[in-house]
Amino acid sequence: MMSFVKYEPKGNIAYLIIDREKALNALNSQVLADLDAALDAVDLSEIRCLIVRGAGEKSFVAGADIAQMKELSKEEAEAFGKQGNDVMRKLEAFPIPTIAAVGGYALGGELAMSCDFRICSDTAVFGQPETGLGITPGFGGTQRLARLVGPGMAKQMIYTARNIKADEAYRIGLVNAVYPLSDLYAAAEKLAGQIAGNAPIAVRASKQAINDGLQVDIDRAVVIEEKAFGSCFQSADQQEGMGAFLEKRKHEPFINK
Task: Show contacts with ligand CAA in window 28-87 (CB under 6 A).
Answer: 62-67, 84
Amino acid (one-letter) located at 2: M
Q: How far apart are the first and last CA of the chain?
A: 35
Q: Tell me whether residue 12 or residue 123 sits nearer to ligand CAA (CB atom).
A: 123
**53 SS3 class:** strand
Number of residues that bind ligand CAA (CB under 6 A): 21
Region 151-210 residues binding ligand CAA, contact defined as CB under 6 A? none
**Rule CB under 6 A: is residue 97 a binding residue for ligand CAA?**
no
Beta carbon of residue 76, minimum distance to ligand CAA (angstroms, whole number): 13
Among 7, 105, 126, 179, binds ligand CAA (CB under 6 A): 105
**Considering Cα of 136, then 130, then 168, then 187, what sign does the dihedral take?**
positive
24 belongs to the binding site for ligand CAA (CB under 6 A) = yes
Q: Cα-flanking dihedrals φ and ψ of residue 225, to 5°?
A: -65, -40
Provide Rg for the chain, Cα atoms: 19
By beta-carbon proximity to ligand CAA, the closer residue of 83 and 231 is: 83
Quick one: which segment of 127-135, 166-174, 208-216, 220-228 binds ligand CAA (CB under 6 A)? 127-135
Please state whether 129 falls in left (phi above 0), alpha (psi between -120 and 50) or beta.
Answer: alpha
Residue 110 interacts with ligand CAA (CB under 6 A): yes or no: yes
Among the listed residues 75, 76, 78, 130, the single catalytic one is 130
Q: Rounded to the nearest whole angstrom, what is the least distance from the CB of residue 130 to ligand CAA in the complex?
A: 5
DSSP string, 116-185: SEEEEETT-EEE--GGGGTS---TTHHHHHHHHH-HHHHHHHHHH---EEHHHHHHTTS-SEEE-HHHHH
Residue nearest ligand CAA, CB atom distance: 63
Rounded Cα distance between 90 and 50, Å, is 13
Catalytic: 57? no
Structure letter (DSSP) for residue 70 = T
130: annotated active-site residue? yes
Closest distance of CB 241 from ligand CAA, Å: 41
Nearest distance in Å: CB 58, ligand CAA = 7
Task: Please give the Cα distance from 200 to 180 (Å, whole number).
Answer: 30
Active-site positions read 110, 130
Residues that bind ligand CAA (CB under 6 A): 23-24, 26, 62-67, 84, 105, 107-108, 110, 129-130, 133, 137-139, 141
